[in-house]
Amino acid sequence: MNTARLRDRVAASDPGLLRLAAGLRTVGAIALTLAVLGVLGSDVRHLVAGAIAAMVATFAIREKQRAAQAVTLALGLPVALVSLSLGALLSSRVLAGDLFFVALIFCAVYSRRFGERGTALGLIGFQVYFVSLFVGATVSGLPELYGVLCVAFLCSATARFLLVRETPAGLLERLREAFRARLAQLVTAQLRLLDAGPDEMDDALEDVREGTARLHETALMIQGRLEEGTADAGAARLVQRRIADAEIAAERLGLLLLTARSSERADTLTLHLPGAPAPRAGRMPGRDEAMARVRRDLEALRLLVLRPVAARSGTGLSQIRNRLLGYREEDNLPPVPPAVQDVFRGIGESARAVLGLRIALDGPQDESDDSPATARSREELDAEDAVIDAREEDGGTQEELTGLSRPTTRAAVQVAVGSALAIVGGEFLSSQRWYWAVLTCWIVFINTASTGEILVKGYRRLLGTVLGVLAGIVLAGSVGQHTWTAFALVLVLVFAMFYTAPLSYTLMSFFVTAALGLLYTLLHTYTLSVLVLRVEETALGAACGVFAAAFVLPVRTDRRTNDLLVTVLERLDEVTEAAVDQLSGGTPEELLDQARDLDQALADLRAATQPLTHPITPLRARRDTARYVVALLETCAYHARSLAATAELLPTHPSIAADPRLRRAGRRIGDNIAAIAAHVADERSTARVETGPSIASLLESEVPGTPRFGRVTDRVLRHVQRLDETLVGLARPLDVPVAAPRR
């Protein structure tokens, strides 16, 4: 049990074991290279060159398909050999070498426009040129270094394709397990929210927020791997559907728990705005009886997520499953206040989502112990599966992106100018180690697209370098000249660097600087002044990068976030319009794909606003506004995602059917999204957000005796209503005029 719990925690903390695999693959390539070179009797300088080359050849390649990885690795070797040769040839020609280095940097950044392969080859070319400078490559020593590079690339291929193999199907399977583990963690956090006292409420709610965000992150990762990891398009579609069901059901359950704990319906924004005050919880209605039952059922739900129902009949898990699915039937709900009954309904819907997830991931389940409620849930799932299987695949090709050359060229020009400044300044600091400034300038431009992002990344790089220098002093003094002990520590630091890279850029910089301190020791160039120079060069490189980003074809953070905000609003409009149209009786579309496009656009916006929300930003009001806007958009995305998932149930769900009156509500939502997008794109826009009667009143029938909401469920109505209200709320922080309600 402890082993299984540990495995679940690892799977949840590192979805797909991506960080673990990257670290092991890189360390394996370096260790194998050192072993081979050691057997061949290579000196320390060649060992260092081989270790860095193996690391570069491993981490530069990011393609998903193994065949594509092999091609890129094969192309990378001649690129590395040419780069090494030019580095050695130009080492004695200072001006020509500097000019070539700047041209190489420009080409390496510009190559991003050619996709992952272009990015990898550009990175290999730049880093191997850097290796030639680091180890002092000469023309006479090129034959030995050629052999070192060949060994490094072969060892990298061995580590990638044999030692730490990664197949798309295997990675997708690990991501699925991570989703299960994170779903279980979210249910555990909801349990703590249920039991939290007044003083513990804020912390418990923060745990639920974090769990919800991490579950959503894993769902996005699975979405990005479905095409490569699943041979059958129908199976991929089914997994996508079940992942979306589970994600939405879990998030809704958290909202229902908040509502049951407060005196009024909880605002969806509460789950998406970090630091938002928790609803003040009094005593839960029917607390003494209901609390124990809700807690027991949440624990049972967590057990169902982590453990499949055993194949043999009569098991306790099958009885638990039947009980939880029974809450989907009104007759099985306990006699408790309505808010608490909603919690039991939410538990029942979550259990159904878990059942669907099990069937999609593990195949058919034993049905011998099914209760009538469970059998009905299976029938619904089977009907949905049949609709998915029968749905024709969209034969259209994705629209090719245009206009990519301009941002790529701009970034290449910026980094080239910044690197030229870094070369000049670095030469003043040290004629021997000026390339550290260039390396930092290069690195702060990687995966950044605005001045603010580069500023934050440069700050983190400098902080990590300063701390790494201190660690390097301690390690270098402890290891001394023990070559293989130093290399063993380098391997540990490299693994830590890759394992922490997605989590903290500061930590990654710390580990890489500490490792470089050990490499200096091995090359007999370690002194305190060298490590201090490393900090100075890093600060200079970061400053040159920020200067180039700010004054050479600058992309202001505001401009980038506005562009991404417009993209999010466009995706939101597409999803909402398609979902409402389908709920109104329109033609079915691939709504979940559109919903994931919205999620990805929102993730890009969230990343771009980091400079605005970073703790070091002095503009507190602006930081709070950015957080509030992103939280409102996450709320909109949740409701749009829920509408999309509900709309896809129309052909099969007995209690959901199309209602043409929804189109009237959808038009107002679409007009308001367009008004906000127009104002963000151009502040001179005169478009206004319209308010008016509630969505429920828009659905009132003019025919006496007609049911109030036709066949549209209350849940659909709630999502549409909350989306409408959130858009009005979004208009205010963006300074979009709000029209007075029409009378």
pLDDT in tens, 182-238: 999 999 999 998 888 778 888 888 898 888 888 888 888 887 777 666 666 767 777
Report in angstroms the alpha-carbon separations of 675 from 561, 564, 628, 668, 687.
17, 16, 19, 10, 5
Helix 662-681 / helix 557-583 crossing angle, nearest 10 deg: 170
Angle at 427 between CA 423 and CA 428, to 5 degrees: 125
CA distances from residue 328 to 92, 342, 349, 360 in whole angstroms, order as listed: 78, 10, 7, 21
The answer, yes or no, to whether residue 648 has pLDDT greater than 50, is yes
Contact predicate 259/265, CB 8 Å: yes
Name the most confidently modeled range: 66-80, 391-405, 490-504. Answer: 66-80
Task: Map residue 288 onto helix, strand or coil.
Answer: helix
718 pLDDT tier (thresholds 50, 70, 90): confident
Return the pLDDT at 588. 75
Please give the share of the chain, as a percent, with pLDDT higher than 90. 16
Q: How many residues would you count in the chain? A: 743
**Helices 620-647 + 233-261 axis angle, to 10:** 120
Residue 221: burial class (beta carbons within 10 Å; 0-12, 13-18, 19+):
middle
Mean pLDDT estimate for the chain:
80
In angstroms, the CA 471 to CA 509 distance is 12
pLDDT band at 70 (very low <50, low <70, confident <90, very high): very high
Query: Is pLDDT of 263 > 60?
Result: no
Top mean pLDDT of 80-84, 179-183, 383-387, 679-683 is at: 80-84
pLDDT at 235: 74
Residue 393 — very low, low, confident or very high, per pLDDT cuts 50/70/90? very low
DSSP 684-718: T----B---S-HHHHT--SSTTS-TTTT--HHHHH
Q: Name the pLDDT band for 28 (thresholds 50, 70, 90).
A: very high
At residue 321, the 3 state secondary structure works out as: helix
**The whole model's pTM is what?**
0.78
Inform me whether the pLDDT recorded for 10 exceeds 60: yes
To 10 degrees, what angle do helices 557-583 and 714-731 make? Answer: 150
| More confidently predicted of 282 and 412 | 412
- Read off the pLDDT of residues 666-690 as tens digits, 9 standing for 90 and up: 888 888 999 999 988 888 888 888 8
For a pLDDT cut of 70, what percent of the chain falls above it? 83
Going by pLDDT thresholds of 50, 70 and 90, the confidence category of residue 405 is: very low
Look at 19-33, 330-344, 568-582 and tell me which has the smallest mean pLDDT.
330-344
Region 111-139: what's the mean pLDDT? 89
Distances (CA, A) of 430 to 73, 518, 532: 34, 20, 12
User: Tokens representing 56?
Assistant: 């570069």
